[in-house]
């Protein structure tokens, strides 16, 4: 007995040293509770040359997957756990060997391919305790008291969307699954890809194809967390009025399709759907394209009997009763028809029957040029003189020539203002020579904003420059010059001067006697010496 006790004491003393020699190294943190010489047989078989641990004896979830051929482990041909999981390398050593890395792991090997927005997510965004649903994994985790098994495992997730994502429809589409409508690319894809025509009792046609889901699915379900969804099932749609307000207040019954189509409620469809010509007011001309609301304005606008005997029942009298005196026909038909207010039926022929027949340039003027004043229409005038429409560019210069209220007509024609009929010979200055070819503006200049015509000075010097340095101040230009040309072709030297030209003088040019003189900066014409010696040299002859 004493010998056994002695040996037992020595075994206790030598055990740490012996364990250090037998153990290949410290166990990883997840297996740390199995450390110790006496716990080796928990994983390893006593007396066997194969030291591989009996992992599956403990890791029931993995064993279950291998047996049922599920998930990543169920597809492995080699069941040697040491290929991917190594231990005895240190407390902090990660026991899972990822090939090539955790981030590059081919998730399709698990039987669940990552697609759409699932690609690129961190593993632990999905693989966490809250999402574990597998019963075997949950039971295994319940038995593990040494660490948080659910937050460290990659097993136990369901492939059903609603197990990870909130069901914002609150079971409205049960037993359908999310994949029936949504994709992993975006939840919003359902707006474009959902087959409303095949999967519901209300095929979308016409304008219904273009509207957003919320236009019809307005009722909101109770919010789920931060999500707010609309109700999609149980809606009434047998009648148009289940969704659309009856603008006609029941006037035409509840079958809207008698007049409207699903393309649009607008008037272009009304012309083919509703036959207004069966009413007491057939639509012709511009009335065909008028919106219903333009005529039918009151709340009961289709039940009431509207007044439409006169155009003015609907249309404002643009002419302010100008054409409706007692002696005239009050109908607008004299000038307009239902094809449009423009152009008016009142044309040149009709206008020439008025007190102001149109001729000349007046024929080409749009009506509005004359019949609009300060933005208001005008069709009556007290006077029909030119000055009523045209500015008087001459002021009061010609007022004294007015005859019977007319004076513009004495010079101008209606064809064009510049086309004058004025006879200048009736003035004190008949136009002759080159004057007859001049424009009026060559002589009649503007003073301020007005061109002066009356009291124009008739002297040549008032228009022409005085080029003789006042040598002929006592003479008139007409004594030498004519209006045909300034050049003097037949200057009468004998009668107009004191030096008649005869003999050899007769053939001399003017410039041989009349020289440039610097003192007057001009050619000297008068006075000029007349003795022979003034022009001729006689050598040494002396008187």
**263-277 pLDDT per residue, tens:** 877 655 554 556 788
For 523, list phi and psi in degrees, rounded to 5: -80, 135
Identify which has the larger pLDDT, 452 or 11.
452
DSSP-assigned states of every residue in 162-174: GGTS--TTTTTTT
pTM: 0.46
Residue 497's pLDDT is 85
The structure tokens listed for 31 are 């297996």
Mean confidence (pLDDT) of the chain: 83
- Residue position matching structure tokens 């509703």: 274
Assigned token pair, 45: 């078989």
Lowest mean pLDDT among 100-104, 140-144, 160-164, 247-251: 247-251
- Structural contact between residues 364 and 416, judged by C-beta atoms closer than 8 angstroms: no
pLDDT at 346 over 50: yes
Segment holding 249, helix H or strand E: none
Token pair of 491 as six digits: 């200057």
Three-class SS string for 21-44? HHCCCCCCHHHHHHCCHHHHHHCC
Domain residue spans of the chain: 24-152, 241-306, 381-458, 466-543
What average pLDDT score do residues 94-103 get?
89
Given a cut of 70, is residue 147 above it in pLDDT?
A: no
Share of the chain above pLDDT 70, in %: 89
Residue 359 phi, psi dihedral angles, 5° rounding: -150, 170
Rounded average pLDDT over 43-64: 87
DSSP single-letter state for residue 2: H
Higher pLDDT: 356 or 306? It is 356
User: What span, in angstroms and rounded, lies between the C-alpha atoms of 346 and 392?
Assistant: 30
Task: Render pLDDT for 518-529 as a digit per residue (tens, 0 to 9).
Answer: 888 888 988 888
CA separation for the pair 487, 492 (Å, rounded) = 13
pLDDT computed for residue 543 by the predictor: 46
Give the pLDDT score at 260: 82
Least confident of 63-72, 171-180, 481-490: 481-490
Radius of gyration over alpha carbons of the chain, in Å?
Answer: 59
State whether residue 523 is helix, strand or coil. strand
Kindly state the DSSP code that residue 85 receives in the 8-state scheme: B
Q: What are phi and psi of 517, to 5 degrees?
A: -125, 120
CA-based torsion, 235, 240, 242, 245: positive or negative: positive
Among 236-240, 493-497, 536-540, which is the least confidently predicted range? 536-540
The model's confidence at residue 462, banded by pLDDT at 50, 70 and 90, is: confident
Please state which of the ranges 168-177, 267-276, 382-391 shows the lowest mean pLDDT. 267-276
Q: What is the pLDDT of residue 119?
A: 94
Give yes or no for residue 11 having a pLDDT over 60: no
Identify the band that residue 5 occupies on the pLDDT scale cut at 50, 70 and 90. very low
Q: What is the mean pLDDT of residues 459-481?
A: 86
Task: Calculate mean pLDDT across residues 328-338.
Answer: 76
pLDDT over 80 at 304, yes or no: no
- φ, ψ of residue 373 to 5 degrees: the values are -140, 120
State residue 8's pLDDT score: 42
Helix, strand and coil in the chain, % to nearest 5: 35, 5, 60
**Which pLDDT band holds residue 249 (cuts at 50, 70, 90)?**
confident
**Residue range 431-458, pLDDT digits in tens:** 999 999 888 888 888 888 888 888 888 8
Instruction: Grade residue 492 by pLDDT with cuts at 50, 70 and 90.
Output: confident
């Amino acid at each position: 007995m004493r010998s056994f006790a002695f040996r037992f004491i020595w075994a206790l003393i030598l055990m740490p040293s012996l364990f250090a020699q037998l153990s290949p190294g410290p166990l990883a943190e997840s297996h740390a509770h199995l450390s110790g010489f006496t716990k080796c047989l928990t994983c390893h078989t006593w007396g066997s040359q194969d030291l591989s641990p009996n992992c599956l004896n403990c890791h029931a979830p993995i064993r279950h997957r291998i047996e049922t051929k599920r998930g990543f482990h169920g597809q492995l041909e080699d069941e040697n756990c040491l290929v991917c999981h190594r231990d005895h390398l240190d407390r902090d050593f990660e026991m899972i060997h990822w090939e090539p890395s955790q981030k590059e792991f081919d998730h399709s090997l698990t039987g669940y391919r990552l697609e759409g927005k699932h690609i690129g997510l961190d593993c632990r965004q999905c693989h966490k305790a809250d999402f574990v649903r597998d019963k075997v994994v949950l039971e295994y985790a319940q038995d593990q008291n040494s660490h948080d098994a659910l937050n460290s495992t990659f097993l136990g997730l369901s492939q059903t969307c609603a197990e990870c994502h909130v069901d914002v429809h609150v079971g409205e589409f049960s037993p359908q699954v999310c994949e029936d409508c949504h994709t992993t690319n975006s939840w919003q894809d359902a707006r474009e890809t959902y087959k409303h025509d095949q999967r519901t009792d209300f095929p979308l046609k016409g304008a219904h194809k273009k509207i957003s889901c919320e236009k019809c699915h307005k009722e909101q379900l109770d919010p789920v967390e931060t999500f707010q969804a609309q109700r999609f099932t149980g809606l009434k749609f047998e009648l148009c009025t289940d969704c659309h307000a009856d603008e006609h207040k029941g006037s035409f019954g509840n079958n809207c399709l008698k007049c409207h189509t699903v393309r649009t409620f607008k008037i272009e469809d009304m012309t083919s759907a509703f036959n207004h010509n069966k009413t007491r007011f057939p639509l012709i001309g511009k009335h065909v394209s008028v919106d219903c609301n333009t005529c039918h304005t009151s709340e009961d606008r289709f039940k009431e009997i509207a007044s439409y005997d006169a155009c003015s029942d609907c249309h404002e009298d643009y002419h302010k009763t100008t054409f409706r005196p007692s002696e005239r026909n009050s109908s607008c038909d004299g000038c307009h028809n239902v094809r449009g207010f423009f152009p008016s039926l009142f044309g040149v022929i009709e206008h020439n029957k008025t007190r102001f027949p149109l001729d000349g340039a007046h024929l080409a003027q749009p009506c509005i040029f004359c019949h609009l004043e300060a933005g208001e229409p005008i069709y009556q005038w007290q006077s029909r003189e030119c000055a009523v429409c045209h500015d008087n560019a001459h002021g009061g210069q010609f007022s004294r020539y007015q005859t019977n209220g007319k004076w513009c007509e004495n010079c101008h024609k209606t064809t064009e203002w510049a086309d004058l009929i004025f006879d200048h010979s009736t003035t004190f200055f008949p136009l002759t020579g080159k004057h007859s070819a001049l424009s009026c503006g060559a002589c009649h200049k503007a003073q301020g904003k007005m061109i002066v015509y009356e009291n124009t000075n008739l002297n040549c010097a008032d228009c022409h420059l005085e080029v003789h340095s006042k040598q002929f101040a006592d003479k008139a230009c007409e004594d030498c010059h004519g209006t045909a040309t300034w050049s003097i072709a037949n200057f009468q030297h004998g009668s107009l001067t004191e030096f008649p030209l005869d003999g050899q003088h007769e053939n001399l040019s003017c410039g041989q006697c009349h020289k440039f003189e610097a003192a007057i900066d001009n050619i000297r014409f008068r006075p000029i010496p007349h003795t022979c010696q003034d022009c001729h040299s006689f050598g040494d002859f002396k008187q």
